[in-house]
């Protein structure tokens, strides 16, 4: 069984600001730092740091070689990353004094992914292999279609939720990993207690993992449900906390851990990520997560 993450790679320009800028307002940032990020890259790094073997597929821009090198250094297989003749994707991120963020994306190379590139990548994968997807690359609908035709298990983190998901056949998804905003968009209900059930009514064979911020996380499939609370940590920067949760949850799942243990592992990894600055650099190593869980006993 192989795992591929077909996803974005961004340069994150992180501005520490006293408060998120409002329309018409001008503010001065405390600092500017460039980190490696992108939901795709962050989730591959989280998977690799959790101990999973993962292939990352996607497109960097002509200025994107350091992103590929960073993934390689983290133990991710980068043989399916190619270079597009455009500028690399970027995220402009404001982080305020309470650690909350606000992001806008310049997609660049991430939206140069074509169905032909997707077909070339996915021919290396077969029935029973897993594919992890987010919504920061182009041709997502085609990738889902090809992965389904090849009998792959599709894990979707529909983030950020926007109109590009309209062209995706969500009935092909095996596991949804979503937050409250994405949960509302997929389920059609704003009541967090109803979201997982509403998704299962539409997609009865799927598995739903719903992160609810301070309320923790819920899991539900047709025959089983579980939940886990958050681990309290000082909040420095929430960027990539969801990506860390996603990578660690999938790693736990692929290790064959019971859902409850995978939720616990992922919740601690996300809590540690929140207590550190940046996107990919904030993702903890497995040994750090295991040690922190041990201290809880």
Contact 221, 206 (CB under 8 A): yes
Q: Which of residues 48-67 bind ligand RIB (CB under 6 A)?
A: none
Q: How far apart are CA 16 and CA 14, in angstroms?
A: 6
Residue 221 touches ligand RIB, criterion: CB under 6 A = no
Which region among 35-43, 121-129, 171-179, 251-259 touches ligand RIB (by CB under 6 A)? 35-43
Residue 182 touches ligand RIB, criterion: CB under 6 A = no
Backbone angles phi, psi at 19, to 5 degrees: -160, 150
CB atoms within 10 A of CB 254: 18
Residue 132 touches ligand RIB, criterion: CB under 6 A = no
Q: How far apart are CA 54 and CA 76, in angstroms?
A: 6
Q: How far apart are CA 297 and CA 294, in angstroms?
A: 6
* Nearest-approach distance from CB 50 to ligand RIB, in angstroms: 17
Residue 237 touches ligand RIB, criterion: CB under 6 A = no
Identified binder of ligand RIB from the candidate list 237, 243, 244, 281, rule CB under 6 A: 243
Please give the radius of gyration of the chain, using alpha carbons only, rounded to the nearest integer. 18
Closest CA to 159 of 76, 91, 233, 224: 91
* Nearest-approach distance from CB 181 to ligand RIB, in angstroms: 13
Residue 37 touches ligand RIB, criterion: CB under 6 A = yes
Identified binder of ligand RIB from the candidate list 109, 135, 206, 239, rule CB under 6 A: 239
Identified binder of ligand RIB from the candidate list 4, 5, 42, 48, rule CB under 6 A: 42
Closest CA to 282 of 237, 242, 251: 237
Residue 136 touches ligand RIB, criterion: CB under 6 A = yes
Look up residue 44 and give its two tokens: 């591959």
Q: Please enumerate in sequence order all residues whose Cβ is within 8 A of that of 19, keeping only pairs 6 or more positions apart, or say none.
A: 27, 96, 97
Identified binder of ligand RIB from the candidate list 4, 6, 15, 39, rule CB under 6 A: 39
Q: How far apart are CA 239 and CA 280, in angstroms?
A: 9
Which region among 38-46, 113-121, 178-186, 283-291 touches ligand RIB (by CB under 6 A)? 38-46
Residue 103 touches ligand RIB, criterion: CB under 6 A = yes
Which region among 36-44, 145-153, 187-195, 199-207 touches ligand RIB (by CB under 6 A)? 36-44
Q: Which residue is nearest to ligand RIB (CB)?
A: 37
* Nearest-approach distance from CB 23 to ligand RIB, in angstroms: 21
Residue 244 touches ligand RIB, criterion: CB under 6 A = no
Nearer to ligand RIB, 58 or 242 (CB): 242
Look up residue 11 and give its two tokens: 């340069």
Q: Please enumerate in sequence order all residues whose Cβ is within 8 A of that of 194, keeping only pairs 6 or more positions apart, or say none.
A: 187
58: β partners: 81
H or E element in which residue 89 lies = strand 89-95
Tell me the site size for ligand RIB, rule CB under 6 A.
16
| Residues acting as catalytic residues | 243
Residues that bind ligand RIB (CB under 6 A): 8, 10, 12, 37-39, 42, 91, 103, 105, 136, 239-240, 242-243, 279
């Amino acid at each position: 069984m192989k795992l591929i993450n077909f996803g974005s790679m961004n340069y994150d320009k992180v501005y520490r600001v006293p408060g998120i800028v409002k329309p018409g307002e001008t503010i001065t940032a405390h600092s500017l730092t460039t980190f490696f990020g992108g939901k795709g890259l962050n989730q591959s790094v989280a998977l690799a740091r959790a101990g999973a073997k993962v292939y990352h597929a996607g497109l960097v821009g002509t200025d994107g070689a350091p992103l590929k090198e960073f993934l390689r250094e983290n133990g991710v297989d980068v043989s399916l990353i190619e270079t597009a003749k455009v500028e690399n994707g970027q995220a402009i991120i404001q982080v305020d004094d309470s650690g909350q963020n606000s992001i806008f994306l310049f997609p660049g190379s991430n939206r140069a992914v074509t169905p032909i590139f997707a077909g070339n990548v996915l021919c290396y994968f077969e029935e029973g292999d897993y594919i992890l997807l987010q919504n920061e690359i182009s041709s997502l609908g085609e990738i889902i279609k090809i992965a389904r035709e090849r009998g792959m298990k599709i894990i979707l983190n529909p983030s950020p939720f926007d109109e590009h998901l309209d062209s995706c056949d969500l009935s092909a998804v095996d596991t949804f990993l979503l937050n409250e905003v994405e949960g509302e968009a997929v389920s059609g209900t704003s009541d967090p207690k109803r979201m997982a059930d509403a998704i299962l009514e539409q997609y009865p064979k799927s598995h739903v993992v719903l992160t609810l911020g301070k309320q923790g996380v819920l899991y539900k499939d047709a025959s089983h449900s579980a939940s886990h609370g958050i681990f309290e940590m000082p909040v420095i920067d929430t960027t990539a906390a969801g990506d860390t949760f996603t990578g660690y949850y999938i790693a736990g799942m692929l290790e064959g851990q019971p859902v409850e243990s995978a939720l616990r592992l992922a919740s601690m990894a996300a809590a540690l990520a929140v207590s550190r600055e940046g996107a990919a650099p904030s993702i903890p190593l497995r040994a750090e997560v295991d040690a922190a869980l041990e201290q809880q006993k």
